[in-house]
Amino acid sequence: MKFKSATLWLVAIAVILGAGVIMLETQRSPETASQAEGVEPLFTFEEQDIQAFTLTTQLRTLRFERDDQERWQMLEPEQMPANDASIAFLLNLLVSGESDRTLSVPAADWEVFSFHQPLAVIDLTVEGEEEERSLTVGGYDFNRSALYAHRDLPDNAPEGLETLNVLLVTPTFEDAVSRPLDDWKELEEQGSDSESGEPTDDLVPDDANDPETPEGEN
């Protein structure tokens, strides 16, 4: 009888635990669906609509603009052609990036998300937009799986704000904005002689020179 009683107790406990798991999953389902429905693009314009942008990091400020031939030019800190690949990588993140959650938090929590010392601020001049658009990239979340970000913060933020609509964006933004200065400059071809197809003197072997004229041949 003791054996049967113990078995009945185990069965009862298993039933209770199973019911608890079912109830927990039922409660979680609406929350998960709400997060999935909250996926939204960072911006709705296209990459070709961006005519100029300024990237401000803790190290420097860089300013770029498209010229009449639609090629990117660096205006600050130097004036020269820009590296199209580096710019395309950043702009693609902006126009194709998404946030799967938006956190509505008090503006008093400004520093919690590192918006007082952001990783980067990207100001965009967009064709068809009356005002500049911007993305402020703050710090990492608790498990470093995402970066906090905020769209179109006013210059005097957080003054005058009651809440912040914090986005969670891909950590790849850190790679896109933290490049060395040289990575933003157009790659230069090495050696003008190689561009023209003419070999340089140091590439001509010594034994390829004209042989000396034997004595007495003149």
Q: pLDDT tens across 126-174, in order?
A: 999 999 999 999 999 999 999 999 999 998 999 999 999 999 999 999 9
Q: What is the DSSP letter of 197?
A: T
The torsion angle over the Cα atoms of residues 198, 202, 203 and 209, rounded to 10 degrees, is 90
Domains in the chain: how many in total? 1
Task: Give the domain range for residue 149.
Answer: 40-183
Q: What is the pLDDT of residue 193?
A: 42
**Which amino acid does the sequence have at 193?**
D
Q: What is the pLDDT of residue 39?
A: 86
Q: What percent of the chain has pLDDT over 70?
A: 69
Is pLDDT at 36 greater than 70 in this prediction? Answer: no
Q: Residue 7 — φ and ψ, nearest 5°?
A: -65, -40
* Residue 194 covered by a domain: no
How would residue 6 be classed by pLDDT, with cut points 50, 70 and 90? low
Is pLDDT at 120 greater than 70 in this prediction? Answer: yes
* Residue 84 covered by a domain: yes
* Residue 47 covered by a domain: yes
Strand 120-126 relative to strand 50-57, pairing:
antiparallel
Q: What is the pLDDT of residue 20?
A: 46
In terms of Cα–Cα distance, which of 188, 51, 198 is closest to 123?
A: 51
Q: Can you give the pTM of this predicted structure? A: 0.70
* Residue 216 covered by a domain: no
The rounded Cα 63 to chain-centroid distance in angstroms is 17
Distance between CA atoms of residues 170 and 38, nearest Å: 16
* Residue 172 covered by a domain: yes
- Mean of the per-residue pLDDT values of the chain: 80
Contacts of 89 (CB under 8 A, 6+ apart): 176
* Residue 196 covered by a domain: no
* Residue 199 covered by a domain: no
The rounded Cα 131 to chain-centroid distance in angstroms is 22
Q: What percent of the chain has pLDDT over 90?
A: 66
* Residue 6 covered by a domain: no
Is pLDDT at 29 greater than 70 in this prediction? Answer: no
Longest dimension (CA), the chain: 128
Question: Could you tell me if 119 and 102 are in contact, meaning their C-beta atoms sit under 8 angstroms apart?
Answer: no
Is pLDDT at 206 greater than 50 in this prediction? Answer: no
How would residue 218 be classed by pLDDT, with cut points 50, 70 and 90? very low
Contacts of 45 (CB under 8 A, 6+ apart): 95, 126, 127, 128, 129, 133
Q: What is the pLDDT of residue 52?
A: 98
The per-residue pLDDT for range 42-100, each reduced to its tens digit, is 999 999 999 999 999 999 999 999 999 999 999 999 999 999 999 999 999 999 999 98
In terms of Cα–Cα distance, which of 97, 61, 49 is closest to 184?
A: 61
- Minimum mean pLDDT range among 13-22, 23-32, 71-80, 114-123: 23-32
Residue of higher predicted confidence among 205 and 83: 83
Question: Could you tell me if 125 and 132 are in contact, meaning their C-beta atoms sit under 8 angstroms apart?
Answer: yes
